[in-house]
């Protein structure tokens, strides 16, 4: 392998001023909990990565920088040992990553070299190449570990479900939000997920509604090691389902949105359906202290404009005058009924009086024409009798 004496000499000077790397390597690695570029305590893998990054440039081939590391590992020199700094996958990935820093540009040869290193790193398990524009299905073996109608189980309670939860959150973190939106099913709703959680587990679902609560929750250590440093929990409420929310888990906030306890942002969310999640409510009643809700896991939420209020076909001015018009109509009807009733009663009384008067007149005329007989005496009007009978004579 090629070797540049001036680069190696500069590296030895820097190493002599910083720390005895050989003694640090022999002491073993400690947990990487410090910032990447700290000065007080120098980690061998960090210094080695800086050497590679410092040697990368337009005029300094990458292999020349790597030769410095290889030369420093020689037994005759004993400056450092690569078996310590790069024994684990995380440290090897660090070295390979800084090797790619100087390959950015428009040079086609450098682009091809970068692609080759990426492919080689995937084969050597330095990293896993993920196409973030594709939503990958969750492996079935992880879906089978999930248990419905229970809270999210931690590693100490249920290691199998905790592993499935970590896997799904990490997969969502590696997937672009646009890919989720394009692949999401829009025909599944709250009722479908609650009735058949096993059937739809792992499906990519899209929901929308009012984001009433948004919290930042602790990220498990396993997720932090995978690069997911932040996890958020949101609760979406839909008007059609009232007080029955949908729980969201995601790892990235859109611009302009911060956690809050009470809010009314209208959002859309696309993500994996994880389980029928049991959560504790604020109710003190034992029967309603625990409720179930669908739990979705995705990348982020999408802020939407508030939906317009449904337009009514009724003219608002006419609707505003509807009550007075109705009351006026009722009053007119009542007055009309009372008036008609009074008119009918009055008319009926007049008719009855006329009938009574007519009957009285008829009775008077009837008895006036025919006087009652007085024995066998001749009627006073016998002269008017034309039948020839003059009555009886004594």
pLDDT for 243-254, tens place per residue? 899 999 999 999
Is the pLDDT assigned to residue 126 strictly greater than 60? yes
Q: Is the confidence at residue 83, as pLDDT, over 70?
A: no
pLDDT of residue 44: 62
In a domain, 190, yes or no: yes
Which CATH number goes with the domain that contains 204? Answer: 2.40.50
| pLDDT given at position 159 | 79
56: in domain: yes
Of 183-192, 237-246, 277-286, 308-317, the least confident: 308-317
Question: Domain limits at 195?
Answer: 140-303
Q: Is residue 356 a part of any domain in this protein?
A: no
Rounded distance between C-alpha atoms, residue 263 and residue 210, angstroms? 8
The contacts of residue 171 (CB under 8 Å, 6+ apart) are: 136, 138, 272
Whether residue 13 is found in the same domain as residue 119:
yes
Q: 64-73, 140-149, 162-171, 209-218 — which is least confidently predicted?
A: 64-73
Is 107 found in the same domain as 150?
Answer: no
What digits encode the pLDDT tens for the residues 322-335? 777 778 888 888 88
Give backbone dihedrals phi and psi of 123, rounded to 5 degrees, phi first. -70, -35
The reply to whether 178 and 38 lie within a common domain is no
C-alpha distances in Å from residue 79, one per residue of 14, 66, 244, 344, 386? 12, 14, 64, 124, 173
CB contact at 8 A, 371 and 379: yes
Q: Mean pLDDT, to the nearest integer, of 80-106?
A: 63
CB neighbours of residue 41 within 10 Å = 10
User: Which residues does 62 contact at the CB level (< 8 Å), separation at least 6?
Assistant: 52, 55, 56, 99, 102, 103
- Could you tell me the pLDDT band of residue 38, with boundaries at 50, 70 and 90? very low
Residue among 93, 105, 15 at smallest CA distance from 54: 15
Looking at the structure, do residues 84 and 179 belong to the same domain, yes or no?
Answer: no
Residue 289 in this model has a pLDDT that exceeds 70 = yes
Domain boundary among 282, 303, 324: 303
Residue 159: CB atoms within 10 A of its CB come to: 12
Encode pLDDT of 151-174 as tens digits. 987 777 777 899 999 999 999 999
Question: What percent of the chain has pLDDT above 90?
Answer: 34
Contact 259, 306 (CB under 8 A): no
**Four-residue CA torsion sign, 262, 264, 265, 269:** positive
User: At residue 307, does pLDDT exceed 80?
Assistant: no
Check residue 373 and report its DSSP letter: P
In a domain, 299, yes or no: yes
Alpha helices in 103-189 (DSSP H): 108-123, 140-143, 159-173, 177-183
Q: Residue 22 pLDDT more than 50?
A: no
In a domain, 391, yes or no: no
* Residue 104 confidence (pLDDT): 55
Terminus-to-terminus CA distance in the chain, angstroms?
184
DSSP state of 260: B
Angle CA 298–141–200, to nearest 5? 50
When mean pLDDT is compared over 45-49, 223-227, 379-383, the highest value belongs to: 223-227
Which residues have C-beta within 8 Å of that of residue 90, sequence separation ≥ 6?
A: 32, 225
Query: What is the token pair recorded at 74?
Result: 């020689």
Q: Please report which confidence band the pLDDT of residue 19 belongs to, taking 50, 70 and 90 as the band edges.
A: very low
| Global pTM exceeds 0.75 | no
- Report the chain's mean pLDDT, rounded to a whole number: 74
CB-based contacts of 353: which residues, under 8 Å, 6+ apart? none
**Helices 44-54 and 62-72, axial angle in degrees (round to 10):** 150
The answer on 73 and 212 residing in a single domain is: no
Residue 189, in any domain of the structure: yes
Q: Where a domain ends, among 272, 303, 334?
A: 303
Question: If pLDDT is split at 50, 70 and 90, which confidence band does 123 have?
Answer: confident
320 falls in which pLDDT band (50, 70, 90)?
low
Is residue 331 a part of any domain in this protein?
A: no
| Count of structural domains within the chain | 2
Residue with the larger pLDDT of the pair 238 and 342: 238
Q: What is the pLDDT of residue 32?
A: 47
pLDDT band for 25, please (50, 70, 90 cuts): very low
When pLDDT is cut at 50, 70 and 90, the band that residue 99 belongs to is low
Report the distance separating Cα 326 and Cα 323, nearest Å: 5
21 pLDDT tier (thresholds 50, 70, 90):
very low
- The reply to whether 53 falls in a domain is yes
Q: Are 117 and 99 in contact, with CB atoms under 8 Å apart?
A: yes
CB 247 within 8 A of CB 295: yes
* Mean pLDDT, range 279-294, rounded to an integer: 84
32-39 long-range Cβ contacts below 8 angstroms, 24+ apart:
32/90
């Amino acid at each position: 392998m090629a070797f540049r004496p001036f680069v190696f000499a500069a590296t030895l000077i820097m190493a002599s001023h910083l720390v005895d790397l050989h003694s640090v390597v022999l002491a073993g690695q400690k947990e990487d909990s410090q910032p990447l570029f700290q000065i007080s305590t120098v980690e061998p893998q960090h210094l080695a990565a800086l050497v590679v990054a410092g040697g990368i440039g337009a005029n300094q081939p990458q292999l020349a920088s790597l030769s410095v590391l290889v030369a420093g590992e020689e037994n005759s020199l004993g400056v450092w040992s690569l078996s310590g700094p790069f024994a684990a996958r995380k440290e090897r990935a660090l070295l390979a990553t800084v090797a790619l820093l100087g390959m950015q540009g428009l040079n086609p040869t450098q682009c091809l070299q970068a692609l080759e290193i990426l492919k080689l790193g995937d084969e050597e398990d330095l990293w896993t190449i993920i196409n973030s524009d594709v939503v990958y299905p969750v492996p079935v073996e992880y879906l089978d570990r999930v248990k419905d109608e229970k809270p999210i189980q931690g590693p100490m309670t249920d290691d199998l479900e905790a592993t499935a939860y970590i896997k799904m959150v990490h997969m969502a973190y590696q997937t672009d939000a646009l890919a989720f939106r394009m692949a999401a099913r829009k025909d599944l709703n709250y009722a479908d997920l609650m009735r058949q959680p096993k059937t739809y587990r792992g499906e990519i679902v899209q929901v929308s509604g009012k984001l009433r609560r948004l919290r930042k929750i602790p990220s498990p250590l396993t997720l932090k090691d995978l690069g997911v440093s932040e996890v958020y929990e949101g609760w979406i409420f839909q008007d059609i389902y009232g007080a029955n929310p949908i729980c969201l888990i995601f790892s990235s906030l859109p611009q302009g949105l911060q956690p809050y306890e009470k809010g009314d942002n209208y959002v859309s969310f696309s993500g994996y359906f994880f389980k029928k999640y049991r959560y504790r409510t604020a109710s003190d009643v034992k029967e309603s202290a625990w409720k179930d809700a669908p739990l979705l896991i995705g990348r982020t939420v999408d802020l939407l404009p508030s939906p317009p209020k449904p337009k009514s076909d009724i003219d608002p001015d006419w609707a505003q005058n509807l009550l007075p018009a109705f009351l006026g109509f009722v009053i007119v009807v009542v007055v009309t009924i009372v008036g008609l009733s009074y008119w009918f009663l009055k008319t009926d009384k007049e008719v009855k009086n006329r009938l009574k008067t007519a009957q009285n007149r008829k009775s008077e005329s009837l008895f006036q024409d025919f006087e009652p007989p007085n024995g066998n005496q001749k009627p006073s009007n016998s002269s008017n009798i034309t039948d020839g009978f003059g009555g009886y004579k004594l």
